[in-house]
Structure 1
Amino acid sequence: MIIGVPKEIKNNENRVALTPAGVSELRKHGHTVYVQATAGEGSGFPDEEYVAAGATMLPTIEEVYGIAEMIMKVKEPIAVEYDLIRENQLLFTYFHFASSEELTRAMIAKGAVCLAYETVEKSDRSLPLLVPMSEVAGRMAVQEGAKYLEKPLKGRGILLGGVPGVKPARVLVLGGGIVGTQAAKMAAGLGAHVILMDISLARLRYLSDIMPENVDTIMSNEYNIREEIKHADLIIGAVLIPGAKAPHLITRDMLKLMRPGTVLVDVAVDQGGCIETCSPTTHENPTFIIDDVVHYCVANMPGAVPYTSTLALTNATLPYALQLANKGWQQACRDNAELKAGLNVVEGKVVYKGVADAFSLPLVPVAELLEQEETV
Structure 2
Amino acid sequence: MIVGLPKEIKKQEYRVALTPAGAGMLARQGHEVIVQEGAGVGSGFADEEYAQAGATLVAGPEAVWEKAELIVKVKEPLPEEFGFFRAGQLLFTYLHLAAAVPLAKALTERQVTAIAYETMQAPNGTLPLLTPMSEVAGRMSVQEGAKYLEAFHGGRGVLLGGVPGVPPADVIIIGGGIVGTNAAKMAIGLGANVVVLEKNGDRMRYLDDVFQGRLRTLTSNPHNIASAVRKADLLIGAVLVPGARAPRLVTEEMVKTMKKGAVIVDVAIDQGGSIETIDRVTTHENPVYEKHGVIHYAVANMPGAVPRTSTLALTNVTIDFVLLLAANGFRKAVEASPMLGLGVNVHRGAVTHRQVAEAVGFPYTPLDGLL
Return the TM-score normalized by structure 1. Answer: 0.97
1:145 aligned partner: 145
Aligned residues: 370
Q: Which runs of 5+ in 1 are unaligned?
A: 371-376
Partner SS for 1:323: helix
The one-letter amino acid of 1:245's match is R
1:29 aligned partner: 29
CA contact (8 A) 1:149 1:156 kept: yes
2:334 aligned partner: 333
The one-letter amino acid of 1:186's match is M
Question: Per-residue deviation at 1:335?
Answer: 1.4
Partner SS for 2:254: helix
Partner SS for 1:123: coil
**2:310 is equivalent to residue 309 of structure 1:** yes
2:301 aligned partner: 300
2:216 aligned partner: 216
Question: Per-residue deviation at 1:368?
Answer: 1.1
Alignment of 1:160-179 (within 5 A): 160-179=160-179
Question: Per-residue deviation at 1:360?
Answer: 2.4
2:226 aligned partner: 226
2:236 aligned partner: 236
CA contact (8 A) 1:188 1:212 kept: no
**2:321 is equivalent to residue 320 of structure 1:** yes
Question: Per-residue deviation at 1:359?
Answer: 2.7
CA contact (8 A) 1:237 1:266 kept: yes
Question: Per-residue deviation at 1:213?
Answer: 3.6
CA contact (8 A) 1:70 1:90 kept: yes
2:103 aligned partner: 103
| Large movers: runs of 4+ above 4 Å | none
CA contact (8 A) 2:108 2:346 kept: yes
CA contact (8 A) 1:192 1:214 kept: no
**2:260 is equivalent to residue 257 of structure 1:** no
Question: Per-residue deviation at 1:214?
Answer: 2.9
Question: Per-residue deviation at 1:174?
Answer: 0.5
2:42 aligned partner: 42
1:19 aligned partner: 19
**How well do the aligned residues superpose, as a CA RMSD in angstroms?**
0.8
1:359 aligned partner: 360
CA contact (8 A) 2:133 2:310 kept: yes
2:192 aligned partner: 192
Question: Per-residue deviation at 1:212?
Answer: 4.7
Distance in 2 between the 1:362 and 1:95 partners? Answer: 18
2:247 aligned partner: 247
Alignment of 1:48-87 (within 5 A): 48-87=48-87
1:132 aligned partner: 132
* Identity within the alignment, %: 55
CA contact (8 A) 2:348 2:370 kept: no
Question: Per-residue deviation at 1:106?
Answer: 1.1
1:201 aligned partner: 201
Distance in 1 between the 2:202 and 2:365 partners? Answer: 34
**2:113 is equivalent to residue 113 of structure 1:** yes
Q: Which runs of 5+ in 2 are unaligned?
A: none
Partner SS for 1:264: strand
Distance in 2 between the 1:51 and 1:193 partners? Answer: 50
1:373 aligned partner: none
CA contact (8 A) 1:66 1:84 kept: yes
Partner SS for 1:294: strand
**2:64 is equivalent to residue 88 of structure 1:** no
Return the TM-score normalized by structure 2. Answer: 0.99
